[in-house]
Amino acid sequence: MKAPTHGRRLLPAAWIIAALAAVVVVAAAGVVLVLRRQTPPGLNGGVLSDMPQAPDFSLRDQNGQTVSMSQLKGKVVALTFLYTHCPDVCPLIASQLAAADQRLGADSKNVEIVSISVDPAGDTLPAVKKFTEDHNLAGQPNWHYLIGSPGQLKPVWDAYHVGSSASSEGATQGVDHSALVYLTDTTGRLRVILSSNFTVSDFVQDAEALLKG
């Protein structure tokens, strides 16, 4: 039995599986239009039809600012899980998020982009700041790369059903982890899951639809 998560609610795994299955189907040729007709207008990712409240957490970002999901209500939140030494999918996600943030234009002030470390040993503050600069996210006030100790991060991974194989020695050998992007609406409810190979256009369209309610 898992230890309590200090008031954090766990997302039912069935919701995550169903939404991720939808994301996979989106990628399959010939069924894109069928799936999109079954989802709310304007949303491209896998849709969480029950709209669960995003589990809360409180962690520090690359600037020493404390960030929690509850304080971000009123904005759309893009939430993902990365590590700075990742050789492939994490840089792709970060670069796409940076491009999407630029594409949003004036709407970016109403969208927060939050990454949570899956490598507490390897994601040092200097590593996180370099990663931020390398992916054109430095100076973006709505970008938060959250770090912490294993004890601080693991309950968040568990709450969002994100696996991580990080060891105490860091990510020199790579970290196997779930690669996805959650989108919340402005009330803090999880609405969409995007796969790691999401397009900038799909992200922007979903974020703008959620901003409109």
- How do residues 162-185 score in pLDDT, each as one tens digit? 876 664 544 445 566 578 999 999
CA-CA distance, 52 to 16, in Å (whole number)?
A: 10
Q: 13-212 maps to which CATH number?
A: 3.40.30.10
pLDDT at 213: 82
pLDDT at 170: 47
Would you say residue 127 has pLDDT above 90? yes
Q: Mapped to the 3 state alphabet, what secondary structure does 58-79 carry?
A: EEECCCCCEEECHHHCCCEEEE
Mean pLDDT, residues 123-128 taken together? 96
DSSP string, 172-198: TT---B--EEEEE-TTSBEEEEEETT-
For the ranges 36-40, 176-180, 182-186, 195-199, which has the lowest average pLDDT?
Answer: 36-40
Instruction: Report the candidate in 45, 18, 83 with the shortest Cα–Cα distance to residue 199.
Output: 45
pLDDT digits (tens, 9 = 90+) for 53-82: 999 999 999 999 999 999 999 999 999 999
150 CB-near residues (< 8 Å, 6+ apart): 120, 166, 168
Domain limits, the chain: 13-212
pLDDT at 18: 46
The answer to pTM > 0.75 is yes
Radius of gyration in angstroms for the set of CA atoms belonging to the chain, rounded to a whole number: 16
